[in-house]
Every structure is written in structure tokens, then in C-alpha cells.
């Protein structure tokens, strides 16, 4: 039996009201869980989101009790599985893993990880679709590593590996996503020596296993979930408070929405959107280009396209991180959006256009969320066929949106 979401669209009306609490960040939790391998004692964790990807990572870690091997069936479906390879290699001196899976966003190579491990003194053997890394004398050695591209997970993986390596590791052209300094600060409190996390140069002085001694890692709020709800509130909300979030992690989105004339108030840990003060057609269509943090996040690119389709004017959305992240565009066009795919990195959007109901199938997690947004502003009842991709990253989304007044239900088919 499969499931689907059924959403009765608001036909452009702005009726959602109330408060939605943001859960812990998926992409923070998925890196903090692997960090637990660096500890001698238990690493207590708080504010973990209750989502599929977190459960898969927990299963992957539980599987390590049989040796330093990542379970192939799980790792092949979870991109973040690769983050676990760093701490396991550093602790056990070896690790075996398959090519990681995850959302299909065009090519997602792992060369930066492989080169990084080699730089830290590990040797690789590739056999039967598995990578097997082994550190000389079972111990990684600190090194200076320059990333030719900025990669979030490669930065995190090598930062974690370096915590147990001998001597100093310097990571240059590192990613600066807020999840990284949050994790580094926690690890430092437990005995690690990491400086510069949150900047392009991170220096790690390796040492022994870490000690939590009861100290808890608290997962920071999910800035992508918060951003998605802010966009939803601008399009379909009368007055919606997005609470338990970290507005300072959402500077790029809030700046774009400000320029688009969205009315909102920023508090210390909340953003209240007064969508009802304006018709969607009164919003200005602003061109956006995705960028590594602190730029506009690629994970908000699809929800932003829905916003742009409802705003007035013409503009482009330029994707600079991934190829193949516009696979949702055809469906939005079928719903009535005026979008031209210029090339694999760029779409042109003209708005505003009324959207109408469709049967949809989210190609990936963030596009799935964009479909929820599109179905909400559309006229008529839409269905989204594979809620599993959305459940991977958003906890009980239908209950939380229902509480704001959206008619959304999960149906067995
Ligand atoms: N890249 C390489 N070689 C590598 C690694 C990456 O060429 O070895 C390239 C990628 O192909 C891509 C670019 O570098 O073009 C950036 O990719 P990055 O490695 O930063 O992405 P990621 O670490 O695999 C994380 C998030 C993604 C998010 C991106 C960008 C996790 C688990 N995933 O992916 O989140 O889109 O950073 O911010 O943290 C999502 O949550 O839906 C999601 C896809």
C-alpha cells in the first residue's frame, strides 16, 4: 500500500494562521550523530528531528558494532552516510562503504572525500562496488587540505576525522554553514581542539577520544524548514509565527523577501509573517542566485520558484551549486506557472500566474516541499504521491500545516 498527500488549495487566498514550531535541523543532526563515534562515553543529543533520514543514520551507526563497515543497503540511500566514514576511519583505522545515495540532484561526486582521506594518510582499495580505506599504522596523520569546491559534507567529514588524527589539519576553502561551528563548539567543549569553524579556514589539532561527561549536543533549528514555512506564510498566510528558529541563519532569504515587499517581523527566535497585508500580486519578483552559506541556500531554490511564480514581474533563478535541480519546473509549468528553463542552471520566471490542481510526484525532498506550497496556492485539490521523500526531512509536516488551517491529509492508496 502506498500513501499520498491530498491538499485542498486556497486559490490564492491567504487564510493560514497561527504558530508553527521549527524542529531541529536535519543537516545538523545527520553530522552530529556520526560525531558520536569520536567519543569514549555516550554523547547525549537533544532536539533531534523525528525524520526518516535520522532513523537511517541511527541504524547505520548501530550496524558498526559488527565492525567498521557501513551497511550497503542504507548507505546507498543516504548521502549523509559518507559523513560517518570520517570518524570511523579515524577511530578504527579503517572503514568500508559503498557509493552514497540520497536525493538525485544531478551528479554528486565524492572525490573530495577520497582525496581528503588520502591526504590524511589513508590508502584506498576499491572492490565489488565498495571503498575500503585503511590508515597506515591504524592512525590518520594531520595534513593541509585545500578543497577545490566548497562542500558541506566534505568539510564536516574531514573535520571529524581530523579530531582523532595525529597533529594538525588545516582545511581551506571550507564550507561555512552554521551547522559546522555549532558542532565544532560542542566538540571543543568535550575535548576537541578546532578553531575557525564557520570561516573558510578550519584548523584542527588532533588528540584522543572525546568525553561528553553528560554534556548535551542541542540540534540547532532547521533554517531550511523555517525558510520554507516563511515562504508559505508569505503566499498563503494571514498572520503566521514561525517560532523556535534562528533568524540570524536566514539572512539571505529574509533580505530577498524584504526586497520583494513581504511584510514580516523578526524576533530573537521567531519570524512573524503578515501575509494578509498584501495580495501575492503586490510582491515584486526578485531574481535570485543560490550560493554557499551565507548566500541564498540551494535547498530553498524550489520553494523560491513557487514564490516567484506568484509575484509580479520577471526574473531569473540561477542554481550555482547543483546540476539537475530544476526537475520540478515542468510540474509547476503544468500547474500554470510561467517558467522557461534556460539551461540546467537557470530558469526564467514571469508572474503572477494562477496555479491549478495537479497530481504530483516530488522528485526530491525540497522539490516535494515546493509542491506542497504550489498545491496550497493552487485552485482545486492536488495530490502529492510519494510523501516518503518529504518525510525524509520534515517531521509530521501535514499535522503542522493542518494546525495552521490548511486542508491537508495523508491518505493510504
Ligand atoms: N562536490 C564535488 N565533489 C565532492 C563533493 C561535492 O564535486 O566530493 C560538489 C557537488 O557535486 C556539488 C557541490 O560540490 O556541486 C556542493 O555539494 P556539497 O558537497 O556541499 O553538498 P552535500 O554536502 O552533498 C549538503 C546538504 C544538501 C545541500 C548541500 C548544499 C547534507 C546531508 N546535505 O549536501 O542538502 O543541498 O549541502 O548546501 O548536509 C537536502 O537537505 O535536501 C540537501 C540536498
Q: How far is the CA of 152 from the centre of ligand 1 (A)?
A: 6
pLDDT at position 298? 98
Closest atom of ligand 1 to CA, residue 110: 8
85 and 157 in a single domain? The answer is: yes
351 and 364 in a single domain? The answer is: yes
201 and 111 in a single domain? The answer is: yes
Q: What is the pairing mode between strands 264-266 and 359-360?
A: unpaired
Query: The domain that contains 347 carries what CATH number?
Result: 3.65.10.10
Can 103 be counted among the known catalytic residues?
A: yes
172 and 255 in a single domain? The answer is: no
198 and 254 in a single domain? The answer is: no
Closest atom of ligand 1 to CA, residue 27: 39
Compute the distance between CA of residue 254 and CA of residue 264 in angstroms, rounded to an integer: 9
Point out the domain boundary residue: 193, 218, 243: 218
Assess whether pLDDT exceeds 80 at residue 101. no
Compute the distance between CA of residue 54 and CA of residue 214 in angstroms, rounded to an integer: 21
Name the active-site residue from 32, 51, 103, 317.
Answer: 103
Q: Which of 25, 321, 344 to mutate to test the pocket of ligand 1 (most atoms within 8 A of CB)?
A: 321
Pick from 119, 123, 185, 125: which is nearest to 148 by CA?
119
Q: How far is the CA of 49 from the centre of ligand 1 (A)?
A: 20
pLDDT at position 126? 87
Assess whether pLDDT exceeds 60 at residue 105. no
For 327-345, how does the pLDDT look when each residue is reduced to its tens digit (9 = 90+)?
999 999 999 999 999 999 9
397 and 281 in a single domain? The answer is: yes
Q: How far is the CA of 292 from the centre of ligand 1 (A)?
A: 10
Closest atom of ligand 1 to CA, residue 365: 42
State mean pLDDT over 150-167: 98
Read off the C-alpha cell for 346.
537557470
For 27-55, how does the pLDDT look when each residue is reduced to its tens digit (9 = 90+)?
999 999 999 999 999 999 999 999 999 99
78 and 136 in a single domain? The answer is: yes
51 and 175 in a single domain? The answer is: yes
Q: How far is the CA of 151 from the centre of ligand 1 (A)?
A: 6
256 and 396 in a single domain? The answer is: yes
Q: Which domain holds residue 70?
A: 26-218
Assess whether pLDDT exceeds 90 at residue 109. no
pLDDT band at 363 (very low <50, low <70, confident <90, very high): confident
State mean pLDDT over 92-113: 79
The pTM of the full predicted model, rounded to 2 decimals, is 0.96
201 and 329 in a single domain? The answer is: no
State mean pLDDT over 140-161: 97
180 and 263 in a single domain? The answer is: no
Point out the domain boundary residue: 185, 218, 251: 218
Point out the domain boundary residue: 218, 242, 267: 218
Assess whether pLDDT exceeds 70 at residue 103. no
250 and 174 in a single domain? The answer is: no
Per the structure, the count of domains in the chain is 2
Alpha carbons within 13 A on the beta-carbon side of 169: 34
- Residue identified by cell 554523547 is 43
Amino acid at each position: 500500500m502506498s500513501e499520498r498527500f491530498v491538499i485542498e488549495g486556497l486559490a490564492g487566498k491567504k487564510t493560514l494562521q497561527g504558530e508553527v514550531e521549527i524542529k531541529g535541523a536535519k543537516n545538523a543532526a545527520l553530522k552530529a550523530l556520526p560525531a558520536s563515534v569520536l567519543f569514549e562515553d555516550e554523547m547525549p543529543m537533544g532536539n533531534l528531528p523525528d525524520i526518516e533520514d535520522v532513523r537511517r543514520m541511527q541504524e547505520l551507526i548501530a550496524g558498526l558494532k559488527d565492525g567498521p563497515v557501513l551497511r550497503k543497503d542504507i548507505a546507498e540511500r543516504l548521502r549523509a552516510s559518507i559523513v560517518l566514514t570520517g570518524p570511523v576511519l579515524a577511530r578504527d583505522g579503517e572503514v568500508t562503504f559503498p557509493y552514497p545515495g540520497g536525493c538525485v540532484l544531478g551528479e554528486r561526486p565524492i572525490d573530495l572525500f577520497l582525496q581528503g582521506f588520502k591526504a590524511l594518510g589513508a590508502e584506498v582499495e576499491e572492490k565489488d562496488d565498495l571503498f575500503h580505506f585503511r590508515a597506515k599504522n591504524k592512525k590518520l596523520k594531520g595534513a593541509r587540505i585545500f578543497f577545490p569546491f566548497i562542500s558541506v559534507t566534505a568539510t564536516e567529514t574531514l573535520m571529524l576525522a581530523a579530531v582523532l588524527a595525529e597533529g594538525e589539519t588545516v582545511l581551506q576553502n571550507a564550507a561555512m554553514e552554521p551547522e559546522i561551528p555549532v558542532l565544532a563548539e560542542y566538540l571543543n567543549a568535550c575535548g576537541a581542539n578546532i578553531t575557525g569553524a564557520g570561516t573558510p579556514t578550519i584548523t584542527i589539532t588532533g588528540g584522543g577520544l572525546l568525553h561528553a561527561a553528560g554534556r548535551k549536543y542541542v540540534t540547532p533549528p532547521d533554517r531550511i524548514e523555517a525558510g520554507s514555512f516563511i515562504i508559505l506564510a508569505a503566499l498563503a498566510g494571514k498572520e503566521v509565527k514561525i517560532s523556535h528558529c534562528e533568524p540570524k541563519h536566514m539572512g539571505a532569504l529574509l533580505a530577498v523577501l524584504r526586497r520583494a515587499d513581504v511584510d514580516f517581523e523578526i524576533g530573537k527566535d521567531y519570524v512573524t509573517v503578515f501575509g494578509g497585508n498584501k495580495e501575492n500580486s503586490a510582491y515584486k519578483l526578485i531574481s535570485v542566485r543560490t550560493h554557499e552559506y551565507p548566500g541564498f541556500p540551494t535547498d530553498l531554490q524550489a520553494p523560491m520558484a513557487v514564490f516567484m511564480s506568484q509575484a509580479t514581474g520577471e526574473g531569473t533563478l540561477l542554481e550555482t551549486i547543483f546540476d539537475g535541480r530544476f526537475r520540478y519546473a515542468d510540474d509547476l509549468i503544468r500547474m500554470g506557472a510561467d517558467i522557461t528553463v534556460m539551461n540546467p542552471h537557470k530558469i526564467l520566471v514571469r508572474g503572477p500566474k494562477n496555479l491549478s490542481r495537479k497530481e504530483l510526484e516530488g522528485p526530491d525532498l525540497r522539490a516535494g516541499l515546493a509542491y506542497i506550497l504550489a498545491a496550497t496556492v493552487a485552485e482545486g485539490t492536488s495530490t502529492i504521491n510519494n510523501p516518503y521523500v518529504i518525510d525524509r526531512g520534515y517531521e509530521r509536516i501535514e499535522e503542522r500545516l493542518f494546525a495552521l488551517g490548511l486542508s491537508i491529509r495523508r491518505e493510504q492508496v
